[in-house]
């Protein structure tokens, strides 16, 4: 028998605030019994559940585990703009002029996460690169 990941858990200073941010990011919802000031808050979204637990310690180093987001109905750049409007901060920009790459953001408490291209955007990039590649001539 194997194990299943029940949820990802984040230590934080304000569980409700963090959960509200991530519910907005993922289009999810907080549990009905989660309120400001609660020590824990649970976010359920399509394909994932996140638990936020209030702890006294501050974040001091880079995350050892982070979330990679793939937008479903907008471009990577549009998603970065949306997330910044929700309260994320752009930490490091690895987006390339070709359209490849990712953006490294941080949530309101500094936890890093990445935003990559969505499937449709990635497919369009691959098709464009293939169209621009010089045709190979067969060897005699």
Q: Does domain 60-133 have CATH number 3.30.720.110?
A: yes
What global pTM score does this model have?
A: 0.86
CA atoms within 13 A on the CB side of 31: 13
User: Where are the domains positioned within the chain?
Assistant: 7-58, 60-133
Which residues on neighbouring strands pair with residue 42, listed in sequence order?
51
Superfamily (CATH) of domain 7-58: 2,3-Dihydroxybiphenyl 1,2-Dioxygenase, domain 1 (3.10.180.10)
Expressed in angstroms, the distance from the first to the final Cα of the chain is: 56
Residue 110 has a CB neighbour count (10 Å cut-off) of 14
Determine the Cα–Cα distance for residues 108 and 8; give it in Å rounded to an integer: 17
The mean pLDDT of 19-25, rounded to a whole number, is: 98
Which residues on neighbouring strands pair with residue 30, listed in sequence order?
43
- Higher pLDDT: 137 or 105? It is 105
Q: What is the pLDDT of residues 72-119, one digit of tens each?
A: 999 999 999 999 999 999 999 999 988 889 999 999 999 999 999 998
Token couple for 74: 């907008």
């Amino acid at each position: 028998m194997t194990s299943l990941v029940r949820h990802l858990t984040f230590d934080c200073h304000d569980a409700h605030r963090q959960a509200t941010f991530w519910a907005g990011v993922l289009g999810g919802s907080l549990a009905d019994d989660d309120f400001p000031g609660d020590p824990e808050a649970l976010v359920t979204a399509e394909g994932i559940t996140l638990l936020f637990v209030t702890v006294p310690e501050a974040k001091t180093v880079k995350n050892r585990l982070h979330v990679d987001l793939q937008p479903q109905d907008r471009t990577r750049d549009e998603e970065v703009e949306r997330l910044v409007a929700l309260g994320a901060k752009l930490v490091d920009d690895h987006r390339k002029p070709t359209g490849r790459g990712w953006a490294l953001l941080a949530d309101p408490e500094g936890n890093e996460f990445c935003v990559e291209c969505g499937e449709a955007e990635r497919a369009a990039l691959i098709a464009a690169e293939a169209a621009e590649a010089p045709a190979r001539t067969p060897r005699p």
